[in-house]
Structures are given as structure tokens and as C-alpha cells.
Amino acid sequence: MNKILALLLSLLLLTSCSSAGSPMSFSERADAAKKLDSRLARQSNELGLKLLSQLRGQSVGGGNLTISPYSISAALALAYNGSKGETAEELGKLLGYDPDELDQLNTSEGALLPLLNDAGPGIQLELANSIWANQDIPLRKGYLTSENFYDAQIRKTDLTGEKSVKAINEWVSDHTSGKIDRMLEQPPGAQSVAVLVNALYFKGGWKKVFLEGNTHPGEFYPASGPAVEVPLMKQFGHFLYAEDKDWQAVRLPYGEGQMHMIVILPAKDSSLDSVIDHLEKDGLPSDDLFSGKEGSLSLPRFTANYGTDLKKAVQALGVKLAFDPNKGDFSGLADTGTPIFISSIIHKTYIEVNESGTEAAASTLVGMDAGAAPPAEEPFEMTVNRPFIYIIQDIQTGVWLFMGAIENPLLAE
């Protein structure tokens, strides 16, 4: 029988700030980030945009959607290390690193990980990887060596038993501060070779908090249906701001400014999909488009949970063989005598944004089975009262930790 590989990704963003230990200073972290391979962040971000577009196209009836480009890329990189042949070529094209560049990808991931786990003052950011291997199928030594770059915990377990569900769910819960506690509903099964899991937790306070006294009820206009009343946080002052005829955008710093939330509001005669298409083609507005400007920002408080299997979205981006029970080639992971393929890529996220900041979490599980701005003197007004896009970016490394499309702030699911 063919064997299965599963990928699980979990992510969490939370409000208010907290940090432990002695984090690197802003300048120390900035200096270290300059030595990173910028290509890794660029490829991860581009994959996030493509997946966001695919998932919106696959969704029925709209709704809020939030993903972690970095968590997804990291979990797929874990799988990529076990792939061979044409399967590896397809995954390499998706991740932006050819099979003969796998060492470069691993080295870049290994250099990035400690920086992400040391986010600096005012921000708590924690990433973790784990590999849950079938206790009866030994993983190849070469694969285990490559996983040192990802600091992955490797655990052998009975993937047919309920204990494996409990253990994996507890691991994800522990690494997302309890915000994501049900990654698996049932055991992966006897044909599972391994379950690869990436978890990410973020908790950051705004550099400039929204005063609760300024929050007021306001109308929000979803793309379809009647207006809804939401709590609109309001802030006046100096912002990094950009706009063109199709959108407005503002950057809201966390901590000492090493990470930002970027809020992009489509113009009234534009749409989320139009702006996402623009971002896919041209990327995020460059830093030089954002300039310091006086103005006012109204932003809804919101909490959103999202979960999906990314399998169809990844297939739509050209990865076919990795999911084929008869042609999948992950022989670099284990020697089973039969094809190993990806059965699912479970991705779950949680985000809460309020006056103090943001708390978020995400997890990705990969299961593998065998088988132009206006004049600066004019203050701007940006009222986020219709569907919008947000991105949480590590400014120093360039990585997008989270991104999403909020159709209705009142929809938690």
C-alpha cells in the first residue's frame, strides 16, 4: 500500500505585548537581518499571495480568510527535503529554489529561524517545527540531518492510535498559547509515514496604542449583504501612509518598529480581488511609496479563526505529483518500497486585533502517506469600513508572518 505524508500548520496572533529573556536590541537584530538571503522572504511572500488568491477563488460565500505565508513555506520546505525526481522539481518551483539549491534553502531557513525566535523588545514571536514519524517506518538518516536546519523535534509514535491525536494537538496547543488546540480530529492512520508540523505564535503591542476612549460604533459595509455595526478604533497623528487611485495603505508598527501591520483598503470602486491581483503582479507597495503623513485612521476591532486543507490551492499552483498516490516521490524521507505522497496540508489560524495590539497563531500540518501619494501637507483620512487586506511583516527580515482578507469583522469563523 502507498504511504502518506501529512503537513499541519498552525498560526496565532494575539493582542498586547509580552517578551521574555533578553531579546536582541533593534539595531542588533537589524544588523543580523542584513546578512540573510532576501530571496527566502520574497519567495515565501509571493507564495502567500498566490495561495490567498486561490483560496478566495475556492471559497463559497466570501468570509474572512487569514494565512501565514511563512508557516506554509516552512512546512512545505520540511516536505521538500524528502522529495526526489519530478516531485522535487515541482515543489522546488513552488518554493522558488531548484532541487540543486536545496542546501541554500536549508541554510537560509536555518539562519532565519533564530531571528524570528528573537523578535526584539515589545514582541513575542515563537516558531517551532516537529516531525511525528511512524514508529514502524524509520526515517532516512540523510533526511534527519537536513532537519537540523529547522530545529525540528522528531518523535516516533503510533499514528494509528488516539494517543497520536492527543499528543500532536497538545504540541500545537502548547506552541500557540492554547489558541489552536484541535489540529487533528482522527489518527493519521497505518499508511502514514510521518506528520510534519509547523507552529507559529505572535504577540505584539502597538508602538502607539489606540486609546479605548476613541473607539466608537460605526457602520461596516461587507461586499454583500447589509451594513453591520462594528467597534471602530480611532487614532490621530503621524503615520507611514501610501495611496493610489485603487487603494489606501497604512503601516502600524509593533514593539520598536521591527514589525508592522500593513492595512490595505481598496477604493470604493475597487475590490479585494482587484487589489490582490495587483499585489500578485507588482508586490507590496515599496517602502519609498510610504511617507510620513498626518492623518486619521479608523480600524475595526476583529477576531478571526480560519482553517482549511491547502491541498487544492497548492495543486492549482502546479504541484501535482506530490499528491499522487502512485507517482509521489518522497523516497528521501523513508524507504517504504511504495510511493509516498502528501495526503493533506492542514492550515489553521487565529487572529485578534484590538486597541493594545495583536495576538495571533498559526499551524500547518503536512500529512504524508505512502502512495502616487497626495501632497504631504494635506492630512489623510482612512476609514476602514469595508473589506480590507492586512499583512503582518517582519520589517527587518522582510518575512510576512500573516496575511488575510477581512470581509466582515463580526464573523469570528
**Domain contains 291:** yes
Cβ neighbours of 126 (radius 10 Å): 18
Residue 357 confidence (pLDDT): 86
For the entire predicted model, the pTM comes to 0.90
Residue 413 confidence (pLDDT): 59
303 residue type, one letter:
T
**Domain contains 365:** yes
Q: pLDDT tens digits for 181-221? A: 888 899 999 889 999 998 888 888 999 999 999 999 999 99
Q: Residue 114 in contact with residue 102, Cβ under 8 Å?
A: no
The answer to which of 265-269, 303-307, 326-330 has the lowest mean pLDDT is 303-307
H helices of 83-213, where?
Answer: 85-95, 102-116, 141-146, 162-175
407 residue type, one letter:
E
Query: What CATH number does the domain containing 204 carry?
Result: 3.30.497.10
Average confidence (pLDDT) over 327-348: 91
**Domain contains 411:** no
Domain with 122, as residue range(s), is: 3-406
Q: Grid coordinates 521574555 are at which residue?
A: 20
* Max Cα distance, the chain (Å): 69
How far is Cα 65 from Cα 406, in angstroms, rounded to an integer?
6
Q: Residue 364 in contact with residue 168, Cβ under 8 Å?
A: no
φ/ψ of residue 210, rounded to 5: -85, 125
Average confidence (pLDDT) over 219-248: 93
Q: What is the 3-state secondary structure (H, E, C) of 229-274?
A: EEEEEEEEEEEEEEEECCEEEEEEEECCCCEEEEEEEECCCCCHHH
pLDDT reading at 24 higher than 70: yes
Question: Which residues are paired to 63 by β-bridges?
Answer: none
**Domain contains 412:** no
pLDDT reading at 39 higher than 80: yes
How far is Cα 227 from Cα 213, in angstroms, rounded to an integer?
24
Name 346's Cβ contacts closer than 8 Å, sequence gap at least 6: 6, 7, 8, 9, 183, 184, 307, 308, 309, 310, 363, 364, 365, 367
Query: Considering its fold, how many domains does the chain have in total?
Result: 1
C-alpha cell at position 347 = 492550515
Residue 3 confidence (pLDDT): 66
Label residue 227 by pLDDT band (50, 70, 90).
very high
Residue 62 confidence (pLDDT): 62
- Considering only CA atoms, which of 127, 192, 204 is closest in space to residue 165? 192
CA atoms within 13 A on the CB side of 17: 20
Q: Residue 232 in contact with residue 213, Cβ under 8 Å?
A: no
Residue 13 confidence (pLDDT): 43
Cβ neighbours of 182 (radius 10 Å): 12
Residue 1 confidence (pLDDT): 54
User: Count of residues for the chain?
Assistant: 413
State the average pLDDT for the chain: 88
**Domain contains 413:** no
Question: Which residues are paired to 152 by β-bridges?
Answer: none
The answer to which of 130-134, 223-227, 282-286 has the lowest mean pLDDT is 282-286
Q: Grid coordinates 515541482 are at which residue?
A: 90
**Domain contains 113:** yes
**Domain contains 362:** yes
**Domain contains 371:** yes
